[in-house]
């Protein structure tokens, strides 16, 4: 089994034919690793845009790629052809988060005329590293950047030019080699020939706005007094606003009043439940969030 860590840099440009903005890939960087995660080869190309003769200021500031460098690059079709040939067979493609896959799909649709990036098996390295950080005791509640992950894991980024495709791939390789965990790693490898892979990738999470939805378990709407721990009684109907259901509650034991909130976010695999309790009519009140585990969704 071989491994390739792929990274890309892209910039938004207006496509006149499709009358929309496209995140055009302007740099592809990748490192090929052997089964022991030693680097055996590097792929690095800059791509000439087929829809614009300039790049944004922000793109240049992040990547160092100027308009002149972009215009001297190779066409995207040629870059993808060379990359697929370089990739080889029996390879797991690894990226830092699956956002690269969305950009690949966008470029395949609008810029590549049915040409495809070769991806047989896939792994999201960000997801793997976040799980490893949690095992080490870090409270990771949102997606972490590559640079921050490296800092937490004791890998210096001084020798890497972050936000360039080749160096981001090299830094990913360093992270993987140092913190490889075979059982957890192998579990995350996905076969892209499985239709569920792309079904899950393109699934758009959404919030449930009907409090009577059959996927909602009634227990998630139970709240308890922070003072005497008695179960609260709801005194108003649930009102939906900004993805949250809100209602007033009161504790019959001590008379304390609360505003309780609950939200339900449907992902491909789970129904994510979040709850908040706050005291009404108290300035600068502290909002506390319960640790509610995701529930399996019944679709």
Q: Which residues of the chain have pLDDT under 70?
A: 281-299
pLDDT at 269: 81
Neighbours of 288 (CB within 10 A): 10
Q: Which residues contact 87 (CB under 8 A, 6 or more apart)?
A: 4, 30, 32, 93, 118
Note the pLDDT of residue 286. Answer: 44
The DSSP code sequence of 64-104 is: ---HHHHHTSEEHHHHHHHHHHHH-SSEEEEESSTHHHHHH
| C-beta separation of 74 from 47 below 8 A | yes
Predicted pLDDT at 297: 37
Q: CA-CA distance, 45 to 9, in Å (whole number)?
A: 11
- pLDDT of 26 reads 98
**CA dist 233 → 219, 249, 252 (Å):** 13, 5, 7
Angle between helix 125-135 and helix 165-178 axes, rounded to 10 deg: 40
Give phi and psi for 227, each to the nearest 5.
-95, -50
State the Cα–Cα distance between residues 84 and 87, nearest whole angstrom. Answer: 5
Position 281 scores a pLDDT of 62
- Find, among 257, 223, 221, 263, the residue nearest to 242 by Cα: 263
The two three-digit tokens of residue 203, written as one number: 């699934």
| Cα end-to-end span (Å), the chain | 36
- pLDDT for the residue 196: 84
What global pTM score does this model have?
0.73
Under 8 Å between Cβ of 12 and 21:
yes
Residue 145 CA, distance from chain mean position: 10
């Amino acid at each position: 089994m071989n491994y390739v860590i792929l990274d890309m840099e892209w910039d938004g440009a207006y496509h006149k034919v499709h009358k929309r903005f496209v995140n055009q890939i302007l740099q592809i960087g990748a490192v090929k690793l052997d089964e022991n995660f030693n680097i055996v080869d590097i792929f690095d190309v800059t791509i000439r845009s087929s829809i614009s003769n300039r790049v944004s200021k922000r793109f240049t500031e992040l990547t160092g790629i100027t308009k002149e460098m972009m215009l001297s690059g190779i066409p995207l079709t040629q870059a993808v052809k060379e990359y697929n040939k370089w990739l080889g067979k029996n390879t797991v493609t690894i990226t830092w988060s699956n956002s690269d896959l969305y950009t690949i799909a966008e470029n395949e649709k609008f810029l590549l005329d049915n040409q495809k990036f070769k991806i047989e098996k896939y792994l999201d390295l960000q997801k793997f590293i976040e799980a490893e950080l949690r095992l080490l005791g870090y409270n990771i509640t949102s997606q972490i950047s590559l640079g921050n992950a490296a800092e937490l894991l004791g890998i210096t980024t001084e020798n890497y030019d972050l936000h360039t495709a080749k160096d981001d791939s090299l830094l990913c390789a360093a992270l993987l080699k140092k913190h490889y965990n075979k059982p957890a790693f192998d579990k995350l490898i996905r076969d892209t020939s499985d239709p569920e892979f792309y079904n899950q990738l393109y699934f758009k999470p959404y919030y449930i706005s009907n409090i009577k939805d059959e996927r909602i378990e009634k227990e998630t709407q139970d709240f308890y007094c922070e003072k005497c721990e008695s179960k609260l009684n709801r005194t108003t109907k649930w009102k939906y606003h900004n993805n949250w259901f809100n209602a007033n509650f009161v504790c019959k034991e001590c008379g304390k009043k609360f505003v309780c909130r609950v939200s339900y976010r449907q992902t491909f695999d789970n129904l994510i439940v979040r709850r908040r309790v706050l005291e009404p009519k108290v300035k600068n009140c502290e909002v506390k969030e319960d640790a509610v585990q995701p529930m399996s969704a019944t679709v």
